[in-house]
Amino acid sequence: MKYILLVLLLLFTESLSQVLVTPRIQCRTKKCEGDNFCFQGYCTPCDGPRSIWTKRKPQWGTKIGEALNVPAYSNYGDLDVQDKNKNEYLLDSQINFGEEIYIGQKYQCVHYARRFWVSQYNTTFGSVERAEQIFDLQEAYNFDTKQNIQLKKFKNGGIEPPQQGDLLIWQKDNGEFPYGHVAVVISIDIQSASPHVLIAEQNYDQAWDTRNFARALKLSIGENKEIIVSNNRQTFPNKDDLKCRDDEITTQGVILGWVRAVIAIQPNCDNLCDGDHYCYFSECYSCNQFRKDWEQSIPDYGVIIGYGNKIPAYSCQNDTQHIAELKHYLQPQESGLNQTVYVGMKYQCVHYARYYWILKYGSAFPDVDTADQIYDLEFAFDYQNGGKRKILQFKNGGQERPLPGDLLIWNKSQPNYPYGHVAVVLDVQLSENEPYVTIGEQNYDDIWDSQQYARKLKVAKNNLGNYYIINQREISNLHPQEKCKDYSGSAYDVIIGWVRLI
């Protein structure tokens, strides 16, 4: 403020002669017309402040302001536009993100816009030859999540106002904007007496109007609530001189609209996306590509896919060459027991459940035809001490919580469970905000979510203190697309309950 007053004072002395010959029009109640601004209550020609301001443009590379921690620099007096040394890359991007992130050529307008998105959103947009082309891009790229991000485009004159982080795009013309132009929206005020959009930018005036934003652009609202942003400064009381920074040519610049990376807003859409879509930054995205990539990463039959409490699980991708070796017996030297023990058919779900009980407890449940029959068993053989051990059943949705070592049992159902299914409970976390049980299993996805477990299943607890385990992954803290590992409707598959060796 002091600075501006000082400038105005200087200017006033400089252009005193002009002021005196101009008819003195009061501007206490009325705006000054044309190329005049309001100074000490009188309309005063812009030439004075404009010429001072033009003379004082900072040289190339000088910091001219900073919006939301992203500094801007002057591009004035750029000596060599072709200089390759002016290409900027994100510091340590190779180390931090495994790829080189290009920011742009110092200190073009596109360079600021890209640098803003890179530093605020870990997001960059495709390369463009001129700023105007940003309005034609369809996607941006988040190099942290390695995801493409949808770009939304809003035409100037539509009803959707710009918001922080949007890129305002100017049309290419034969005047001030031979390449178009781009600026970043810092904030917007529709309600005030002087509606405006604050922007941050490079390579426009080469000097910012304040330390925290480059310009305040005029915003007007049409009859049908359409929002129009123009390349004219909005004037504020006591700062009317800023309007002199616009001239006849610049005021003809046309703003096409604004471009938004959908990453800038994050309301949850989880419940809006169906079973074949995941919610990412308020948009539903198809699971297709993720599922394809994921399925392609499934290991061959017999490859270890993880260790549940140190007990290995193997991929069951069917492969007819191994049919003869499917029956698996554990020899005493492998199990430490005094006899050969039958484990099951490699590498079915029942095989893993029995394998786990044998190696952990020296016990094995009797032969079953289908996995769901395990729920009906009353005893297991005790190979350590001889005799039998009792098996207890707990219905899903009852008062009893599952414990590590329990076997979770799925009912038979078509088409996914013609034989039912069984998994081993590895860990139970019911006190979490999002309670879950961690399981180990074979012949379900044939690929585990981590080295230590196959899946984390959601647990619902009702007011009566009953626990219901749901056949759906708990993915809080994970990327939302992890949801795609579940097929649509998996949550309706019935887990009958769990059995416990006692």
Ligand X SMILES: *[C@@H]1O[C@H](CO)[C@@H](O)[C@H](O)[C@H]1NC(C)=O
Q: Using an 8 Å Cβ cutoff, are 428 and 437 in contact?
A: yes
Nearer to ligand X, 15 or 471 (CB): 471
Nearer to ligand X, 425 or 496 (CB): 496
Nearer to ligand X, 238 or 338 (CB): 338
Nearest C-alpha neighbor of 217 from the set 204, 206, 232: 232
Nearest distance from C-beta of residue 133 to ligand X, angstroms? 25
Nearest distance from C-beta of residue 372 to ligand X, angstroms? 7
User: For residue 139, what are its two tokens?
Assistant: 């996607």
**Identity at 29, one-letter amino acid code:** T
Q: What is the enclosing helix (H) or strand (E) of 50? A: helix 47-55
Nearest distance from C-beta of residue 118 to ligand X, angstroms? 9
Residue-wise over 13-42: b if at least 16 C-beta within 10 A, else e? Answer: eebeeebeeeeeeebeeeebeeebbbbeeb
Nearest distance from C-beta of residue 221 to ligand X, angstroms? 32
Nearest C-alpha neighbor of 276 from the set 492, 481, 502, 49: 481
Is 266 exposed, middle or buried (CB count within 10 Å of its CB: 0-12, 13-18, 19+)? exposed
Positive or negative: CA dihedral 287, 290, 292, 295? negative
Phi-psi region of 497 (alpha: psi -120 to 50; beta: other; left: phi over 0): left
Q: Using an 8 Å Cβ cutoff, are 106 and 73 in contact?
A: yes
Nearest distance from C-beta of residue 409 to ligand X, angstroms? 9
* 408, β-bridge pairs: 423, 498
> Which residues of the shown chain bind ligand X in the complex (CB under 6 A)?
96, 121-122, 144, 318, 338-339, 385-386, 411-413, 494, 496
Nearest distance from C-beta of residue 101 to ligand X, angstroms? 11
CB atoms within 10 A of CB 1: 8
Q: Could you please report the per-residue DSSP string of 55-105?
A: HTPPPTT-EEEEETTEEEE--TT-S-TT-GGGEEE-TTHHHHHSS--EEEE
Nearer to ligand X, 253 or 362 (CB): 362
Nearest distance from C-beta of residue 288 to ligand X, angstroms? 19
Nearest distance from C-beta of residue 413 to ligand X, angstroms? 6
Residues 37, 45: Cα–Cα separation, whole Å = 6
Residues 273, 285: Cα–Cα separation, whole Å = 8
Nearer to ligand X, 172 or 291 (CB): 291
Tokens 């060599």 belong to which residue?
80
Residues 168, 149: Cα–Cα separation, whole Å = 18
Nearer to ligand X, 76 or 121 (CB): 121
Residues 328, 314: Cα–Cα separation, whole Å = 13
Nearest distance from C-beta of residue 42 to ligand X, angstroms? 49
Nearest distance from C-beta of residue 75 to ligand X, angstroms? 27
Nearer to ligand X, 217 or 330 (CB): 330
Nearer to ligand X, 170 or 281 (CB): 281
Nearest distance from C-beta of residue 496 to ligand X, angstroms? 4
Residues 84, 331: Cα–Cα separation, whole Å = 69
Nearer to ligand X, 17 or 333 (CB): 333
Residues 397, 374: Cα–Cα separation, whole Å = 18
Alpha-carbon radius of gyration of the chain: 34
Nearer to ligand X, 309 or 411 (CB): 411
Nearest distance from C-beta of residue 165 to ligand X, angstroms? 11
Nearer to ligand X, 105 or 122 (CB): 122
Nearer to ligand X, 233 or 351 (CB): 351
Residue, CB closest to ligand X: 386
